[in-house]
Amino acid sequence: MKAITRRPAADAPPPARRPVRWGGRLLSVAAIVLAASILVPSAQAATGDLRYDGCIGDLAGCTPTSPAGALDGAAAVAVTPGGTDLYAASHTGDDVSHFRIDTAGNLIFAGCIGNLTGCTPVTANALDGADAVAISGANLYVAADNGEDVSHFRIDPAGNLTFAGCIGNLAGCTPVTANALNGAVGLAATPSGTDLYAASRLGNVISHFRVDAAGNLIFAGCIGNLAGCTPITPHVLDNALGLAVTRDSAHLYAAAFLGNAVSHFTIAPLSAARH
């Protein structure tokens, strides 16, 4: 006789789900789904991924600055070693803006310094075309493309900037070899804090400054094919733009836009005479 298969009634409850055994314990399907979601990380949380958290400036949708225009042509930024303050150089605004950084990393505009109306003034034209910034200890240095100089600012405990002078062939600044800072666009400070280097895109040289105990810059010479500088391979520093110093303060590298090259320089060690 053929066995008869009985169908469950339409209103019969669904058959009970068999629990799954995991590590000697019984888990429900819901528990397994939850465990899998914990064990498999979300793609959105991958290490190094960026999440946009807003902007500050006069662009629609950003938190505005006061005065307006303080970030026009923003060209370079630098953060203090403690991570409490950020400074932005503005090529078009001809100023440096100061931001405090809160515990969540958000920026709070704290003012600006330069010849833009509404900013704390400095030597006329010293920040014209401000393009590069470097922090060394409690000092900030700014290279100005059109000002053809490097300005020095002291950073107080609250992060505020005080103009401490400039070096270059601009009127009112300490002079250097003629044209050595023409089109100054790159800066790099040694981690030791004893030296600063500036790249000149028009002078096609790298200028070397010693940094004294107060953070003031002392011109120590230049290297490149400009008259008065130590000569090197012709054109290798043409339109020099970028600089980087190794962590041990032993080597400097320079990128030249028109030279189509990266040049390597060895930095002489700190001598006993400079201690």
Q: 102-117, pLDDT tens digit by residue? A: 999 999 999 999 999 9
pLDDT over 90 percentage in the chain: 81
pLDDT over 70 percentage in the chain: 82
| Amino acid at residue number 5 | T
* Cβ 60 vs Cβ 45: under 8 Å: no
Q: 187-203, pLDDT tens digit by residue? A: 999 999 999 999 999 99
Residue 45, φ and ψ in degrees, nearest 5: -105, 15
Rounded distance between C-alpha atoms, residue 190 and residue 210, angstroms: 10
Query: What pLDDT is stored for residue 272 in this prediction?
Result: 41
**All structural domains of the chain:** 74-274 (2.130.10.10)
pTM of the predicted structure, to 2 decimals:
0.83
Q: 159-190, pLDDT tens digit by residue? A: 999 999 999 999 999 999 999 999 999 999 99
- HEC states along the chain? CCCCCCCCCCCCCCCCCCCEEECCEEECHHHHHHHHHHHCCCHHHCCCCCCCCCCECCCCCCECCCCCCCCCCEEEEEECCCCCEEEEEECCCCEEEEEEECCCCCEEEEEEEECCCCCECCCCCCCCCEEEEEEECCEEEEEECCCCEEEEEEECCCCCEEEEEEEECCCCCECCCCCCCCCEEEEEECCCCCEEEEEECCCCEEEEEEECCCCCEEEEEEEECCCCCECCCCCCCCCEEEEEECCCCCEEEEEECCCCEEEEEECCCCCHHHC
Query: What pLDDT is stored for residue 270 in this prediction?
Result: 74
The structure tokens listed for 42 are 């979300």
Q: Which long-range contacts (CB under 8 A, 24 or more apart) does 259-266 make?
A: 259/204, 259/235, 261/236, 263/232, 263/233, 263/236, 263/237, 265/206, 265/223
How would residue 28 be classed by pLDDT, with cut points 50, 70 and 90? low
The structure tokens listed for 86 are 């950020």
Rounded distance between C-alpha atoms, residue 71 and residue 85, angstroms: 16
Averaged over 198-214, what is the pLDDT?
A: 98
């790159």: which residue's tokens?
A: 186
Rounded distance between C-alpha atoms, residue 89 and residue 66, angstroms: 15
